[in-house]
């Protein structure tokens, strides 16, 4: 990126541009700014970037986008710095003119985004969502971090309230999209499952151009979603239904046979052949293939792919144990799926359960239901840190242990771990259960 402030006169009036300057990157954080970045002074409920303009300049920022007048600094004055961030991302995307993939769903977004980008990058230069930047600040920042020669953007689209996906669509304008699944999450802000469904379904909105929509043919909402996509081209995946456009023809230990519309059936190496991961792989293959990638690119990407940290990644643990790291996030459906995967493991099966956040008034009910499910399926031990410890212990029965801190849990569990133990570690992000994983893995 190499842009002059004067180049931006199409999106900002010349009268708003004070002094000319060149910038090579965009930052909203004075702590991590790089020399020659333009600093955008965002503000919110608990922060105001305008208070850090001087620090940004001291660290080498070449210009600023601000809502207030500045002196002796190249800057653009705007009414709304967040809107300016979005406009800048739209401008930069219009220069690059990439093909854009948009991915949403309750579970699997980051894994599918990561794997799709690994495949497409074997085909053409690809930019993917930076970290977990999947909201109306993070997505434009991801676009602005892309290289000028990027041909493909693979963008994760998150939502915590109605209208969020539509806003991201207006920024990214994806050619190909996928709705992976929908289940209860962020109920504190959504209120109901129907609100979650309708928000995720915003990704189907017609934007005046042909759009391909990737859907799981075996999903409980498939028929509903097909009816909402009369103006779009629906492409299907399935791990069970071989009439889908992309399907799993055969799954064996660390190997998957895949059928696509473009090539003969082929086999690929898959470290994790659990049900949810097969779906993630199929979605990724479909998204990448519909943009032009083929088996050679898929096989090359999969050969060294071992998953995303915190999302069902498997590690060798202390005393020859097996640690299943699902510490990045949790909701009732993803937790149940992780338990089902754990059930296929031979040996002892333990769960380290943390709080699932943003479940509203039904939070205790969801935690208790999972404890019942774990007990019913003969999980050997349950270790918990939740807001509902006593209710969860009562639901699971014997061999449930509650703690007030991760350090107490680690100190208790480590002497118990043996070589035939499989330990699932899962919680919402704010619990920071990766610290538990770090202590238990080799």
pLDDT given at position 311: 63
DSSP 43: B
Query: pTM of the predicted model, to two decimals?
Result: 0.82
**Confidence tier at 307 by pLDDT (50, 70, 90):** low
Give yes or no for residue 277 having a pLDDT over 70.
Answer: yes
Between CA 84 and CA 206 the distance in angstroms is 25
pLDDT tens string 349-373: 999 999 998 888 899 999 999 999 9
Ranking 107-111, 182-186, 331-335, 413-417 by mean pLDDT, the lowest is 182-186
**Confidence tier at 258 by pLDDT (50, 70, 90):** very high
pLDDT given at position 325: 92
Ranking 118-132, 237-251, 270-284 by mean pLDDT, the lowest is 270-284
**Confidence tier at 437 by pLDDT (50, 70, 90):** very high
**Confidence tier at 167 by pLDDT (50, 70, 90):** very high
Q: Higher model confidence: residue 190 or residue 279?
A: 279
**Confidence tier at 86 by pLDDT (50, 70, 90):** very high
Read off the pLDDT of each residue in 271-288 and give the average, rounded to a whole number: 87
Give yes or no for residue 272 having a pLDDT over 70.
Answer: yes
Between CA 324 and CA 335 the distance in angstroms is 12
DSSP per-residue codes, 234-297 = EEEEESS-TTSSEEEEEEETTEEEEE-SSS--EEEE-S--SHHHHHHHHHHHHHHHHTT--HHH
Read off the pLDDT of each residue in 407-433 and give the average, rounded to a whole number: 94
pLDDT tens string 182-238: 988 777 778 888 999 999 999 999 888 889 999 999 999 999 999 999 999 999 999
pLDDT given at position 308: 60
pLDDT given at position 309: 61
Read off the pLDDT of each residue in 394-401 and give the average, rounded to a whole number: 95
Between CA 97 and CA 93 the distance in angstroms is 6
pLDDT given at position 276: 77
pLDDT tens string 21-75: 999 999 999 999 999 999 999 998 889 999 999 999 999 999 999 999 999 899 9
Neighbour tally for 150: CB within 10 Å: 20
Identify the CATH homologous superfamily for domain 313-440. Mur ligase, C-terminal domain (3.90.190.20)
Q: Are 425 and 310 in contact (CB under 8 A)?
A: no
DSSP per-residue codes, 125-170 = -EEE--TT--STTHHHHHHHTS-TT--EEEEE---SSTTHHHHHHH
pLDDT given at position 306: 65
| pLDDT averaged over every residue in the chain | 92
- Phi-psi category of residue 78: left, alpha or beta, with phi > 0 → left and psi -120 to 50 → alpha: beta
Give yes or no for residue 4 having a pLDDT over 70.
Answer: yes
pLDDT tens string 219-229: 999 999 999 99
pLDDT given at position 310: 55
**Confidence tier at 387 by pLDDT (50, 70, 90):** very high
- Phi-psi category of residue 358: left, alpha or beta, with phi > 0 → left and psi -120 to 50 → alpha: left
Enumerate the domain spans of the chain.
3-81, 98-303, 313-440
Between CA 432 and CA 233 the distance in angstroms is 40
> In terms of CATH architecture, what is 3-81?
3-Layer(aba) Sandwich (3.40)
Between CA 371 and CA 55 the distance in angstroms is 50
CATH numeric code, 98-303: 3.40.1190.10
- Phi-psi category of residue 317: left, alpha or beta, with phi > 0 → left and psi -120 to 50 → alpha: beta
């Amino acid at each position: 990126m190499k842009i002059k402030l004067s180049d931006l006169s199409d999106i900002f009036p010349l009268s708003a541009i004070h002094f000319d300057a060149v910038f090579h990157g965009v930052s909203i954080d004075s702590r991590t700014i790089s020399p020659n970045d333009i600093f955008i002074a965002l503000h919110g409920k608990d922060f105001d970037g305008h208070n850090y303009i001087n620090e940004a300049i001291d660290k080498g920022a070449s210009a600023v986008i601000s809502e207030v007048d500045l002196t002796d600094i190249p800057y653009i004055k705007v009414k709304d710095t967040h809107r300016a961030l979005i406009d800048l991302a739209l401008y930069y995307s219009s220069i690059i003119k990439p093909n854009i993939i948009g991915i949403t769903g309750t579970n699997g977004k980051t894994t599918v985004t990561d794997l799709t980008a690994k495949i497409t990058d074997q085909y053409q230069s690809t930019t993917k969502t930076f970290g977990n930047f999947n909201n109306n600040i993070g997505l434009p920042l991801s676009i602005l971090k892309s290289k000028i020669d990027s041909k493909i953007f693979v963008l994760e689209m998150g939502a915590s309230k109605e209208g969020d996906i539509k806003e991201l669509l207006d920024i990214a304008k994806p050619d190909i999209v996928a709705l992976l699944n929908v289940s209860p999450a962020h109920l504190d802000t959504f209120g109901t499952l129907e609100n979650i469904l309708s928000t995720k379904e915003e990704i189907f909105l017609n934007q005046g151009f042909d759009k391909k929509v990737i859907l799981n043919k075996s999903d409980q909402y498939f028929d509903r979603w097909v009816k909402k996509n009369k103006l779009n081209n629906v492409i299907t995946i399935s791990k069970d239904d071989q009439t889908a456009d992309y399907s799993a023809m055969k799954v064996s230990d660390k190997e998957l046979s895949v059928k696509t519309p473009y090539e003969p059936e082929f086999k690929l190496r898959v470290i994790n052949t659990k049900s949810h991961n097969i779906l993630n792989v199929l979605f990724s293959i479909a998204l990448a293939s519909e943009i032009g990638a083929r088996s050679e690119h898929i096989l090359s990407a999969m050969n060294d792919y071992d998953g995303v940290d915190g999302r069902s990644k498997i590690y060798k643990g202390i005393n020859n144990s097996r640690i299943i790291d699902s510490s990045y996030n949790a909701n009732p459906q993803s937790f149940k799926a992780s338990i089902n995967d754990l059930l296929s493991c031979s040996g002892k099966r333990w769960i380290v359960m943390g709080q699932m956040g943003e479940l509203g008034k039904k939070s205790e009910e969801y935690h208790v239901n999972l404890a019942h499910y774990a007990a019913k399926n003969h999980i050997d031990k349950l270790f918990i840190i939740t807001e509902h410890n006593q209710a969860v212990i009562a639901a699971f029965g014997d061999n449930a242990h509650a703690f007030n801190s991760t350090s107490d849990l680690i100190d208790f569990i480590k002497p118990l771990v043996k070589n035939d133990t499989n330990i699932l570690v899962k919680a919402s992000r704010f619990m920071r259960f990766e610290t538990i994983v770090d202590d238990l893995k080799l």
